[in-house]
Amino acid sequence: MQATVLDKQLSFLREIDRLKTVVRQSPLLDNSRKENSAEHSWHLAMYALLLNEYAGGSVNTHRVVQMLLLHDVVEIDAGDFPIHDESSSNSQAEEESEAAKRLFGLLPQQQGNEFLALWREFESAETEDAKFAKALDRFQPLLVNVFTSGGTWKENDVSLEQVFSRYGPVIQRGAPLLWDVCEQWVTQHFSEQASRASGLQKGDKE
Q: Which residues of the shown chain bind Ca ion in the complex (CB under 5 A)?
A: 72, 137
Measured CA to CA, the distance from residue 110 to residue 50 in angstroms comes to 30
43 binds a copy of itself (CB under 8 A): yes
162 neighbors 83 (Cβ within 8 angstroms): no
Measured from the CB atom, the residue of 66 and 170 that comes closer to a copy of itself is 66
Among 59, 70, 130, 182, binds a copy of itself (CB under 8 A): 70
Helices 89-104 and 109-124 cross at an angle (nearest 10°) of 160
Measured CA to CA, the distance from residue 62 to residue 20 in angstroms comes to 23
Among 55, 59, 69, 100, binds a copy of itself (CB under 8 A): 69
Among 1, 3, 90, 203, binds a copy of itself (CB under 8 A): 3
Taking the complex as a whole, how short is the minimal distance between the CB of residue 161 and a copy of itself, in angstroms?
25
Among 24, 25, 66, 134, binds a copy of itself (CB under 8 A): 66
Interaction residues for a copy of itself, span 130-189 (CB under 8 A):
143, 147, 177-178, 181
Neighbours of 200 (CB within 10 A): 10
Q: Which of 17-25, 91-99, 126-134, 161-169 is the region at the interface with a copy of itself (rule: CB under 8 A)? A: 17-25
| Closest of 171, 201, 174 to residue 184, by C-alpha | 171
Among 76, 78, 103, 107, binds a copy of itself (CB under 8 A): 107
Helices (H), the chain: 2-15, 37-51, 61-70, 75-78, 89-104, 109-124, 128-147, 151-155, 160-174, 176-205
